[in-house]
Chain A
């Protein structure tokens, strides 16, 4: 069973001096190593700050591109993991173990797999994407 974990953080995290973050990075590194050693890590990435990103908002006038940062956002996604586990309980347990700080949160969502899709819909989807997609790869241990 595949799950995605989203790390929800205070956007101010991106403004912190990296030098003060060494312990936090080290703790996260150790956690990621645990995932790797458990054999369940499929993918992970950190995301760059929202100030360097955009929102594409859709409305009757079409798509509008809005530059970050987004003042109303109290939390932003800092990164994600995709893990492959045997049970929902296992996913929850791994999510509990993320070395997150007070106020941060992990959102845990189950990933749809090929078996979950209707075969006809999948075929239609497949015709349009016969090229291997750009998927992020798990970092080498």
Chain B
């Protein structure tokens, strides 16, 4: 029996139902229409109908099926009016295909991966939203809009831009996909690794946007972490044999677990090793460890996300900063370096080595990095070098490095900290 509610309550309920149902709805329509833009239009029109009728008649027992049936009918009418069907047979074929989509949407069992069905459709939608023909900004916007269920104004606030810009980006992206005749077919098997990388990159980008949002200032931006995590978990459920997906979920879980511990009340950032671990979210840590185990169980080898997650897991598992397994972390950085060679990774490895084996072991690694000139504009390199020299009881040299580091950073707070540390050494102590 439909359940009737008053209009205000209904609006909130419909909003929630939309967030739950829209990815499958849009994906199912996109498969039938072979056009993501047209799919979203039909889906949005169905939502408008729902907003008109559900507050009055009650929310249907199977809202997903209702939306699909309605959207399908709207799309069909539109196609017929545009005389898209050359022959009656095309019309009947289209109806049959969209019938299957509607049945699949109403079937709580979901589809088997590879056998077609709502799961494969959602996966295809993820790939399509992150298609190589789109700019990174377009991919991000489209993913949040079609899969995250975010409204235009929410995306605008999240990325500190205007609604108009976001709306333009969405329509341009849809046009680009249509003009490039991208359609909706899933990627060829040999293309999947690269296409998957594109999706993971978008999700991590969204997560980092939320992560860098100053805590306490704008929870809508911090909410992006949640949106990214939710989409990554969905992807892990839809593509369970891909270790990097589980790796990204784990990495996000661990980073999100520290969100409430990383700033002091006055907004000063607190480094991981100095954070109060009682403020770390244990549920997320447990979840992250489970995701990492899932990654390790995959027969495919893991990549950079798994390696980064493994490093984060070491920190998450240590009950106190002093108990951190630095030797394991140093070894994991070596693995990460092989997978993702970069001077920043090497720098982090050197720091881990300094804690695992002492600052004397790490100093040559830093000097080698300096010689490569790859990080010459970063304040991190001289700052780390200074730290090692302090620990090696060579304050005069540390002092010089701290002053040098201070000239390289644009962040005023960072610069003040470096200069203060140099001053504290200044009396030759």
Contact = CB atoms under 8 A, between A and B. Distances in A.
Contacts of B232: 39
A90 interface: yes
A125 B12 contact: no
Given A123-B276, A123-B278, A126-B279, A132 B20 contact: no
- Among B108, B293, B294, find the residue whose CB has the most chain A CB atoms closer than 10 A: B108
Interface in A84-141: 84-90, 92-94, 113-115, 119, 122-123, 125-127, 129-133, 135-138, 140-141
B110 A37 contact: yes
B240 interface: yes
B226 A93 contact: no
B110 A137 contact: no
A39 B233 contact: yes
Interface stretch (A28-36, A47-55, A66-74): A28-36
Given A30-B109, A131-B319, A135-B286, A114 B233 contact: no
Interface string B283-294: 111110110011
A115 B320 CA distance: 21
Contact of A89 (B16, B289, B293): B16
B16 A125 contact: no
A38 interface: yes
A86 B287 contact: no
B233 A140 contact: no
A39 B20 contact: no
Contacts of A130: 277-278, 319-320
A76 interface: no
Interface residues of A, number: 44
Contacts of B230: 38-40, 84
Contacts of B317: 132
A38 B132 CA distance: 25
Majority SS of interface residues in chain B?
helix
Contacts of B276: 123, 126
A132 B320 CA distance: 10
B263 interface: no
B15 A89 contact: yes
B281 interface: yes
A82 interface: yes
B226 A86 contact: yes
A4 to B, nearest CB: 11
Interface string B218-230: 0000010010011
A122 B277 CA distance: 11
A42 interface: yes
B278 A125 contact: yes
A74 B104 CA distance: 39
Given A39-B230, A82-B283, A140-B294, A90 B20 contact: yes
B283 A132 contact: no
B231 interface: yes
B282 interface: yes
Contact of B237 (A31, A39, A115): A39
A43 interface: yes
Contacts of B119: 37
Given A37-B237, A38-B20, A115-B260, 14 more contacts: A38-B230, A40-B230, A41-B233, A114-B279, A114-B281, A123-B278, A125-B278, A129-B278, A130-B277, A130-B278, A130-B319, A131-B319, A135-B286, A137-B287
Rank and list the top 8 A-B pairs by shortest CB-CB distance, nearest first: A126-B278, A39-B233, A39-B230, A89-B16, A39-B234, A90-B16, A89-B12, A141-B237
Interface of A: 2, 30-31, 33-34, 36-43, 82, 84-90, 92-94, 113-115, 119, 122-123, 125-127, 129-133, 135-138, 140-141
17 contacts: A30-B108, A31-B108, A38-B20, A39-B229, A43-B286, A85-B16, A87-B12, A87-B16, A89-B15, A114-B260, A114-B279, A123-B276, A123-B278, A126-B277, A130-B320, A131-B319, A138-B287
